[in-house]
Amino acid sequence: MATMTSMPPSSPSSPLASQSLSAPTRQASNLPLRTIPGSHGWPLVGPISDRLDYFWFQGPDTFFRSRMEKYKSSVFRTNVPPSFPFFLGVNPRVIAVLDCNSFAHLFDMEVVEKRDVLVGDFMPSTAYTGNTRVCAYLDTIEPKHAQLKNFALDILKRGSRVWVDELQANLDKFFDTIESEISKDGNSSFISHLQTFLFYFLSKSLVGADPALDPGVADSGPLSINLWLGLQLLPTVPLLAFQPLVEIFLHSYTYPFVLISGGYRKLYSFIEHHGKEVVQHGEKEFGLSKSDTIHNLIFILGFNAYGGFSIFLPTLLGTIASDKNGLQARLRDEVRRVCGSSTGLRFDSVKDMELVNSVVYETLRLNPPVQLQYARARKDFQLTSHDSTFDIKKGELLCGYQPLAMRDGNVFEEPESFKPDRFVGKGKELLDYLFWSNGQQTGSPTESNKQCAAKDYVTLSASLIVAHMYRRYDSISGDASRITAIEKAK
């Protein structure tokens, strides 16, 4: 999700719009032209071999690193799952782009298009989204894209009036539960509590609907979304344990919508009845049908917001809670220095917390919530890496493995290391090269691009969560799934 360009900069509870900058690519004329190395292999054999490496023998990180080393290039041809024999009509052939320069082309809408390539050439059944192609699957030149993108930007603007208050109120409930479990059991496995917090906070902020008013979703909402997400994406998600059972039983099939249709219908009814104001706004102000409005709201709520935060926040909390190098004391001191005697936090407050924001950015750099980005060549063009130029043909599918692109040693010093101060001071210039939101951190989402509509809401909300935590606690111990100890603020 991301900043809205239409949001008034003076709004006290709204993030400022980001400056839009050009992608950090070099001029093709300055670099030698090179044939793209690598191969898709023999029909059937090549895709199956690469699939087994990706899902089983190597895992995604080693899969891409080993080929980059083999071809001495950050741009090469390979196959990515899913593929034949169980996924008819899905073409696994891609051109991998694994450095910051080549990766940036994935977001240049003049040369690439994004029609139905959210998870590559494979697309989950539209039954999962009410038999409609929601905004995430639309290319920018499709007329409905502008309607839906502007609707997404607008509901964020409307939600900004309650966003921070709802976040902090539900965050306090989350921490109350954590404290209770630690007092009782000595530790707290917090993932399910975090997802409950996210579901309530995001439902009220984005949809204007309170889950507490609907017993059908109050308790089952997070589980319904988890199952809805899981069944759509399971054919593409690496699970390195329990092989070959995972390959045989989980990666070899698409899963019918009927398995989760009951939970989805409850979510639809929940938004229809308790989010009436937002639904009617989509119909009257943006010319959307009621059905399209609700299905896109479910996708924004469940896939973009809930799904992204559910991956990112545990990593962020785990990174901070497990640090042994004094980071927590530095974060605590900055939060309390910036906040002073203020009784509340706002987005304006956390914008001045350079270290807090840098830790959020650095966590996104090393552990982006979405690991793979795809785009299809809109026309023939020349793609540049740091040292070469490559001819790309219209229709070829580009695949960027984000964790590796964000470890580009030509851009980031000690790229494999977590450096909490990386984006402090002059380091903010590196934000031009930070990609995690379907675009660079210094870009702005508009109807003419595919950048996540709430990009800045994500980073500022994460910073606010860290700040809230250090106003409440002196320290917190644990990892990405469990909190083992807390020390309340003195």
Q: Is 466 inside any structural domain?
A: yes
CA 46 to chain centre: 30
Per-residue pLDDT at 107 exceeds 80: yes
Q: Is 1 inside any structural domain?
A: no
Which positions make up the binding site? 452
Q: In what order do the strands lie in the sheet with 397-401?
A: 75-79, 93-97, 397-401, 372-377, 112-113
- Identify the pLDDT of residue 378: 98
| Structure tokens that stand for 361 in this block | 């950015």
| Count of Cβ atoms closer than 10 Å to residue 367 Cβ | 21
- Identify the pLDDT of residue 22: 42
Domain residue limits at 484: 28-488
- Identify the pLDDT of residue 434: 97
Check which CATH number belongs to the domain holding 305 and give it.
1.10.630.10
| Structure tokens that stand for 156 in this block | 């964020």
- Identify the pLDDT of residue 11: 33
- Identify the pLDDT of residue 84: 75
Q: Is 365 inside any structural domain?
A: yes
In tens, the pLDDT along 384-430 reads 999 999 999 999 999 999 999 999 999 999 999 999 999 999 999 99
- Identify the pLDDT of residue 463: 98
Q: Give the pLDDT band (50/70/90) at residue 85.
A: confident
Q: Give the pLDDT band (50/70/90) at residue 29.
A: low
Per-residue pLDDT at 260 exceeds 60: yes
Per-residue pLDDT at 24 exceeds 60: no
CB under 8 Å to 429, separation ≥6 — which residues? none
CB under 8 Å to 219, separation ≥6 — which residues? none
- Identify the pLDDT of residue 20: 34
Per-residue pLDDT at 9 exceeds 50: no
Q: Is 182 inside any structural domain?
A: yes
SS (H, E, C) the chain: CCCCCCCCCCCCCCCCCCCCCCCCCCCHHHCCECCCCECCCCCCHHHHHHHHHHHHHCHHHHHHHHHHHHHCCCEEEEECCCCCCCCCCCCCEEEEECCHHHHHHHHCCCCEECCCCCECCECCCHHHHCCCCCHHHCCCCCHHHHHHHHHHHHHHHHHCCCHHHHHHHHHHHHHHHHHHHHHHHCCEECHHHHHHHHHHHHHHHHHCCCHHHCHHHHCCHHHHHHHHHHHHHHHHCCCCCCCCHHHHHCCCCCCCHHHCHHHHHHHHHHHHHHCHHHHHHHHHHHCCCHHHHHHHHHHHHHHHHHHHHHHHHHHHHHHHHCCCCCHHHHHHHHHHHHHCCCCCCCHHHHCCCHHHHHHHHHHHHHCCCCCEEEEEECCCEEEECCCCEEEECCCCEEEEEHHHHCCCCCCCCCCCCCCCCCCCHHHHHHHHHCECCCCECCCCCCCCCCCCCCHHHHHHHHHHHHHHHHHHEEEEEECCCEEEEEEECC
Nearest to 415 by CA among 373, 362, 479, 462: 362
Which positions make up the binding site for heme? 452
Q: Is 21 inside any structural domain?
A: no
Per-residue pLDDT at 2 exceeds 60: no
Q: Is 4 inside any structural domain?
A: no
Strands 93-97 and 397-401: parallel
User: Contact 358/423 with Cβ under 8 angstroms?
Assistant: yes
Q: For the chain, how many structural domains are there in total? A: 1
Q: d(Cα 391, Cα 384) in Å, to the nearest integer?
A: 9
Nearest to 105 by CA among 30, 34, 23: 23
Q: d(Cα 245, Cα 237) in Å, to the nearest integer?
A: 14
From residue 92, how far is each of 47, 137, 217, 255, 361 by CA, in Å?
7, 18, 38, 19, 32
Q: Is 14 inside any structural domain?
A: no
In tens, the pLDDT along 122-168 reads 999 999 999 999 999 999 999 999 999 999 999 999 999 999 999 99
Per-residue pLDDT at 50 exceeds 50: yes
Instruction: Tell me what the mean pLDDT of segment 457-480 comes to.
Output: 97
Q: What are phi and psi of 399, to 5 degrees?
A: -130, 120
- Identify the pLDDT of residue 28: 52
Q: What are phi and psi of 53, to 5 degrees?
A: -65, -45
- Residues of the chain with pLDDT > 90, as a percent, come to 88
For residue 265, the number of C-alpha atoms closer than 13 Å in the C-beta half-sphere is 6
Q: Is 16 inside any structural domain?
A: no
Task: Name the more confident of 14 and 67.
Answer: 67
- Identify the pLDDT of residue 62: 98
| Structure tokens that stand for 468 in this block | 């809230």
